[in-house]
Amino acid sequence: MKYIPEKLWKKIMKTVPRVVVDGVVMKDNKVLLLHRKFPPYLDHDVLPGGFVEYGETAEKAVVREVWEETGLRTKVVGLSGVYSDPKRDPRGHLVTVAFLLSVTGGKIRESSETKNIRFFSINKLPKKMGFDHTQIVKDALKLSSSKK
């Protein structure tokens, strides 16, 4: 197998849009948020999420990322939205597919990437979140209330 030289790989990663997922995990009118252990948005409240891996659906990716970052098992309730502003993430042009999720099991635990994982009341959300997660949560809450 041939590999792309590192310099070329970094250039590709800076110039080609990539797909990520974000999970809006709802439980008892609360939203799950966590703190990132790494930049960008170090120690900011954010949604669990990450990169879609080669050969993986966005739905499987979001369930996997939530499990890896929080220890919670979830299922997709619905698509919350697609966020594609090229400036939404300082690492490059990352297009996120956001999903509304419900908890099916597991127990909250920190990961190598996350800390301070907790549920926030939808009436007492942090005023400022990392990335565009404030908008993603607002959109997901609209979807959540329409599904009731």
Flag whether 4 is in a domain: no
Residue 108 class from Cβ within 10 Å (0-12 exposed, 13-18 middle, 19+ buried)?
A: middle
Distance CA(38)–CA(54), nearest Å, equals 23
What CATH number is associated with residue 119? 3.90.79.10
- Is the pLDDT reported for residue 12 higher than 80? yes
- Is the pLDDT reported for residue 147 higher than 70? no
Q: How many domains does the chain have?
A: 1
DSSP class of residue 22 equals E
- What tokens were used for 84? 């594609």
User: pLDDT tens for residues 84-122?
Assistant: 999 999 988 999 999 999 999 999 999 999 999 999 999
CA end-to-end span of the chain: 51
User: pLDDT tens for residues 36-65?
Assistant: 999 999 989 999 999 999 999 999 999 999
pTM: 0.91
Beta bridge partners of 118: 33
- Is the pLDDT reported for residue 26 higher than 70? yes
